[in-house]
Amino acid sequence: MPDPLLTALLLALVAVAAATRVPWRRLLRRVPLPRRVPAPVRPGRSGRTPGPVRIAWEATGRGPAVLLVHGLGYGRWGWEPIVERLADRFEVVTVDNRGIGDSDAPAGPYRTRVMAADLVAVLDDAGIDRATVVGTSLGGMIAQELALHWPDRVDRLVLAATIPGGVRTVPMPPYGAVTLAEAPYRSEAARARAAVKLALSPATIAGRPEVAARLAEVRAANPLRRGVWAAQASAGIAFDPRGAQRDLPHPTLIIQGTADQVVNPGNGRALAGLLPDATLVEVEGAGHLLFWERPAELADLVAGFAAKAHGRRPGRVVARTR
């Protein structure tokens, strides 16, 4: 469709040319026209894997592949704060885990190894051989299973706010345990408020209410189907590689908020002591959803770490950040 402003300007030039008897092309050379600034080209792809359980995925950006795997009850929308920050350097692939969003929701219980097989199907469907895999919370457990059982599909691992599994797991902080235990007895609205409060640090809730409001908004726009929360939760409860992570060859970045009320911060240190090539970053004062609370900082950490796998200029990885 023609640009209305440009059409009006050309009509005005024709009228002036008729009145002054000056060829309109000469007038056009004298009048600066508004320049169209092309939007950046960002190819987007999406699909659903074939097979009995179809998994929805989406890819955006250019460069080496970075696969983002979210946690319990969160879909592709859960990566909203950082996708665009990464997509100017990488091809960013986001996934709806089974049960979530546009993916199929078979009856539970689910298992993390099966959910990791879903990721292999996504990589196959997207035509990606290897990726830096970023998993947060339950997604971090799924990412560990992917690296353990399909190691050739993983370049590097980023494990955020997650656990080593089994007896090596440090128990959940009391506030998180009580909140989850009370959830079945609360109204839907009360559960939603509690979930947002649990996901973010007290400092973010108090000082940045817009973050909590946006998280509540997108959660409300993406309600869970009946039975999915329990099906996914069972995967996290049963996750136990029995320390097999000690044999993983992949360089691993472990990111843990010190104010996490869902995953005890001690789990980051437990993972760092277990994996042979691990760097631990403790984000001072951050809660469970670090990528919502500190998106620029976390995107830079992930980008710097992922770039090392491809000979690109790395970012700065630190031992502790505020």
pLDDT in tens, 86-109: 999 999 999 999 999 999 999 989
pLDDT digit string, tens, across residues 63-76: 999 999 999 999 99
41 vs 62: CA distance, rounded Å: 9
CATH number of the domain where residue 98 is located: 3.40.50.1820
Strand, coil or helix: what is 184? helix
Residues 303 and 186 in one domain: yes
Category of 162 on φ-ψ map: left (φ > 0), alpha (ψ -120 to 50) or beta: beta
Q: Compute CA distances 179 → 118, 172, 213, 264, 294, whole Å.
A: 30, 11, 19, 14, 24
pLDDT digit string, tens, across residues 231-249: 999 999 999 999 999 999 9
Q: Look at residue 41 and tell me whether its pLDDT is greater than 70.
A: no
Q: What is the pTM of this model?
A: 0.83
The pLDDT assigned to 15 comes to: 42
Residues 149 and 30 in one domain: no
Instruction: Confirm whether 31 is domain-assigned.
Output: yes
User: Percent of the chain, pLDDT > 90?
Assistant: 75
Residues 81 and 5 in one domain: no
Q: Look at residue 42 and tell me whether its pLDDT is greater than 90.
A: no
Tokens matching residue 307: 């770039």
Residues 269 and 135 in one domain: yes
120 vs 118: CA distance, rounded Å: 5
Residues 24 and 148 in one domain: no
Sequence-separated (6 or more) residues with CB below 8 Å from residue 264:
170, 171, 172, 173
Q: Which of 73, 75, 81 is nearest to 46 (CA)?
A: 75
The pLDDT assigned to 107 comes to: 94
Q: Look at residue 78 and tell me whether its pLDDT is greater than 60.
A: yes
The pLDDT assigned to 321 comes to: 55
Tokens matching residue 69: 């795997």
Report the range of poorest mean pLDDT among 48-57, 183-192, 296-305: 183-192
Pairing of strands 278-283, 131-136: unpaired
Residues 31 and 92 in one domain: no
pLDDT digit string, tens, across residues 263-321: 999 999 999 999 999 999 999 999 999 999 999 999 999 999 999 876 644 333 334 45
Element (H, E) at 86: helix 83-86
User: pLDDT grade, residue 186 (50/70/90)?
Assistant: confident
Could you tell me the sign of the dihedral formed by the alpha carbons of 314, 315, 316, 318, in that order? negative
What is the average pLDDT across 19-41?
A: 39
Instruction: Confirm whether 46 is domain-assigned.
Output: no
Q: Look at residue 229 and tell me whether its pLDDT is greater than 70.
A: yes
What is the average pLDDT across 49-78?
A: 96
Residues 224 and 83 in one domain: yes
How far the first Cα of the chain sits from its last, in Å, is: 50
Residues 153 and 240 in one domain: yes
Instruction: Confirm whether 152 is domain-assigned.
Output: yes
User: pLDDT grade, residue 24 (50/70/90)?
Assistant: very low
Pairing of strands 44-48, 91-95: unpaired
What is the average pLDDT across 165-193?
A: 89
Residues 3 and 81 in one domain: no
Residues 102 and 231 in one domain: yes
Instruction: Confirm whether 110 is domain-assigned.
Output: yes
The pLDDT assigned to 169 comes to: 97
Q: Which domain holds residue 106?
A: 51-321
The pLDDT assigned to 311 comes to: 63
Residues 99 and 5 in one domain: no
When divided into structural domains, the chain yields a total of: 2
Q: Compute CA distances 123 → 5, 63, 132, 194, 264, whole Å.
A: 45, 15, 11, 35, 31
> Is-contact 71 115, C-beta < 8 A?
no
Residues 172 and 242 in one domain: yes
